[in-house]
Amino acid sequence: MPSARRRSTARVQARGGASEVVQPAGAGAQAVVPRVASGVPRLDSILRGGFLRGGMYSVMGPPGSGKTLLGNQLCFHHAGVEGRRAIYVTLLAESHARMILHIRSMRFFRPELVGQAIQYVSAFAVLEQQGLGGLQELLRRSIREQGATVVVIDGLQAVQTYAESPLAFQKFLRELQAYAGLLDCTVLLLTPTTAAQAHAENAMVDGVLELSHGLFGARAVRELTVHKFRGSECLLGRHEVEIGPEGLIIHPRTEAQFDRPPARAVERRIRMPFGIAGLDEMLCGGIVSGSTTMLLGAPGAGKTLLGLQFLAHGASEGQPGMYFGFYETPPRLLEKAREVKIDLERHCASGLVEVQWQPPLEQHLDALAEQLIERIQARKVERLRVFIDGFAGFRSALVYPERLPRFFAALTHELRNLDVTTVFAEEADLCRAEIQLPDEVLAAVVENILVLRHVEVGSQLRRLLSIRKMRESDYEAAAREFRITDGGIVVASSFRSAERILAVRGGISRASGGLDVKGARGGASERKKPRGMRKSPGASGKRVAGRRS
């Protein structure tokens, strides 16, 4: 399968331990802009390759937002991974001993670098006694003697406080920027303020990044916003931030990360059957590969079992699969499949089907999307089947509900680009007789919608399955009854039993001969043939009834 390539105005390359961005050729030659990798997972993706070498950047945010952590990660990555030297300068910040105590449990921390490739310099005494001129001289001497190519200044507000005037402060920044740029030294200025406040450095620096944290109801949310970044494009807007054992982790917004998906190469698309005779007949052989299918139904309707059947049948034909769920633990999931003779456990043991489970607790929306996409890319297989058991798991991770349509559109488009055939379960209202789409925008994005519902007939609950939408294919529009038995899922061979159930439900009871389900009483199977019959692509020339949505 041809690899999916993301179209971008810039291409990131690695050279000599640092990143470089090669701009597309225009009228002249290509311009190479050297970069400095941040060491913060996915921040370089947001900045399209990292900080520009020799630039000056302001990182702002309230106390506890992660500024000091970001500065230290940059230094340790620059020294430990790229083999260069860095200086961390403190003014009115915590002592070096306490700072190192707080970061030594992080995975990026390497004690052998402290005092060698990374120098910690306390500069407040010099600022207090000699003013801005003395601080400027200390910074220049330290950069020159250490051969540093990254400098972090923590507590810039102290410099502004000791400046005689706003003009003197701006002059200090301009001179530092000119000297650092001359030596290809990248400078980060850490300030405990917010972008809403006016600051002289914002107009002078090459980039402004803001770290923030706040409460959304009972939930604490950290975010990063890039307000300015000269010389390069970047992913604007708010991005989720997480602090964990690895340090600061940033999750770019999915809809911004995949905002310019490439046009797919023309590939041969095939049918992906469920391995259930009645359902595959309704689908004219199965859903089309590379498509997205919504299984819509109330709790208990059979969505999870149908999704597991989709994975197991694909694995029986040698097609790899992945379960991505929130509510069923792996042992419970395998037990559930075993009870209805779905042979999922064997395929999981062989590695053909992979189970990815994450508890439905506080999750980061874009981190979930990253986990799914990165696992798919890591498998490097063709014709992958993916079952997302409960899109509600993504919905519960939302901080901004208005993001959902754009997020879902970007995620499903990226899955198509990877030639993944996706089936996902979506909850419908348990107490409503009529099925309603939970979100019309989501329904418009997916190619196929299968509806599973309960119907009360006397004292019994019967299950019906129907196809509400199927792009790029014919399908049978009539509903059919289906049952979940000890031997698996069984779909009726025709619409007749469903018609009788609906007739009784509607009070138009008429004589019936039984159910057209294997193992039960039933009459002859018959396909309803509405107008507009035609050949279904990829259905071996068989004429099937249905319509194109």
Percent of the chain with pLDDT over 90: 67
Q: What is the pLDDT of residue 198?
A: 54
Are 349 and 385 spatial neighbours (Cβ–Cβ below 8 Å)? Answer: no
Tell me the two tokens of residue 24.
């597309």
Tell me: do 172 and 230 sit in the same domain: yes
Domain extent for 281: 275-544
439 part of a folded domain: yes
Q: Number of structural domains, the chain?
A: 2
- Residue 79 in any domain: the answer is yes
Q: Note whether residue 294 is domain-resident.
A: yes
Q: How far, CA to CA in Å, does 74 sit from each of 126, 233, 248, 353?
A: 25, 21, 10, 38
Is 290 found in the same domain as 151? no
Of 252, 267, 283, which marks where a domain is finished?
252
Within 13 Å of residue 230, how many CA atoms lie on the same side as its CB? 13
Residue 528 lies in a domain: yes
For residues 529 and 435, membership in a common domain is answered with yes
Range with lowest mean pLDDT among 12-26, 100-114, 372-386: 12-26
- Alpha-carbon gap, residue 389 to 424, rounded angstroms: 6
What pLDDT, on a 0 to 100 scale, did the predictor assign at position 24?
43
Segment 97-121 shows an average pLDDT of 95
**pLDDT (0 to 100) of residue 548:** 39
pLDDT band, residue 360 (cuts 50/70/90): confident
36 assigned to some structural domain: yes
Closest to 403 in 3D by CA, of 185, 257, 267, 504: 257
Tokens at 103, concatenated: 């970061």
Same domain, 421 and 522: yes
Q: Provide the pLDDT confidence category of residue 512 given band limits of 50, 70 and 90.
A: very low
Task: Judge whether 481 lies within some domain.
Answer: yes
Tell me, what CATH number does 215's domain have? Answer: 3.40.50.300
Average pLDDT over residues 3-30: 41
**Does residue 459 sit in the same domain as residue 535?**
yes
Pair (317, 374) in one structural domain: yes
Residue positions counted in the chain:
549
Same domain, yes or no: 328 and 196: no
In a domain, 268, yes or no: no
Task: Confirm whether 75 is domain-assigned.
Answer: yes
CA–CA distance, 495 with 524 (Å, rounded to integer): 11
Do 336 and 230 share a domain, yes or no? no
Q: What confidence tier does 13 reach under pLDDT thresholds 50, 70, 90? A: very low
Is the same domain home to 121 and 245? Answer: yes
Domain co-membership, 329 together with 380: yes
pTM to 2 decimals? 0.81
Q: Per residue in 390-399, pLDDT tens? A: 899 999 999 9
User: How far from each other are the two terminal CA atoms of the chain, in whole angstroms?
Assistant: 29
Given a cut of 60, is residue 546 above it in pLDDT? no
Collect contacts of 4-9 with beta carbons under 8 A, ≥24 apart. 4/262, 4/264, 4/417, 4/418, 4/419, 5/262, 6/258, 6/260, 6/261, 6/262, 7/260, 7/261, 7/262, 8/48, 8/260, 9/233
CB 490 within 8 A of CB 482: yes
Question: Looking at residue 196, what is its pLDDT?
Answer: 55
The alpha carbon of 309 is separated from its chain's Cα centroid by a whole number of angstroms, namely 26
| Bridge partners, residue 190, by sequence | 59, 154
End of a domain among 252, 287, 309? 252
Among 81, 120, 117, 127, which residue's Cα sits nearest to residue 101?
A: 120
Residue 431's pLDDT band (boundaries 50, 70, 90)?
A: low
How far is 465 from 486, CA to CA, in rounded Å?
19
What is the residue-wise DSSP string for 148-190?
-SEEEEE-HHHHHHH-SSHHHHHHHHHHHHHHHHHTT-EEEEE
Residues 125 and 42 reside in one and the same domain: yes
**Which segment of 6-10, 268-272, 484-488 scores lowest on mean pLDDT?**
6-10
> Is the pLDDT at 496 greater than 80, yes or no?
yes
Which pLDDT belongs to residue 202? 83
Which whole-number Å values give the CA distances from 218 to 214, 215, 223, 239, in the listed order? 10, 6, 16, 19
Q: Mind listing the pLDDT tens digit for each residue in 212-244?
A: 998 988 889 999 999 999 988 999 999 999 999
pLDDT-based confidence at residue 503 (cuts at 50, 70, 90): confident
Are 243 and 362 members of one domain? no
Q: In the structure encoding, which two tokens stand for residue 503, read together?
A: 């007739």
- Residue 7 pLDDT greater than 70, yes or no: no
- Distance between CA atoms of residues 337 and 345, nearest Å: 8
State which H helix or E strand residue 277 sits in. helix 277-282
Identify the band that residue 432 occupies on the pLDDT scale cut at 50, 70 and 90: low
Mean pLDDT over 143-168 rounds to 94
| Cβ neighbours of 248 (radius 10 Å) | 28
Residues with Cβ within 8 Å of 326's Cβ and at least 6 positions away in sequence, in order, are 357, 358, 359, 360, 389, 390, 392, 393
Alpha carbon distance 71, 39 (integer Å): 10
435 confidence band (pLDDT: 50, 70, 90):
low
CB of 67 closer than 8 Å to CB of 211:
yes
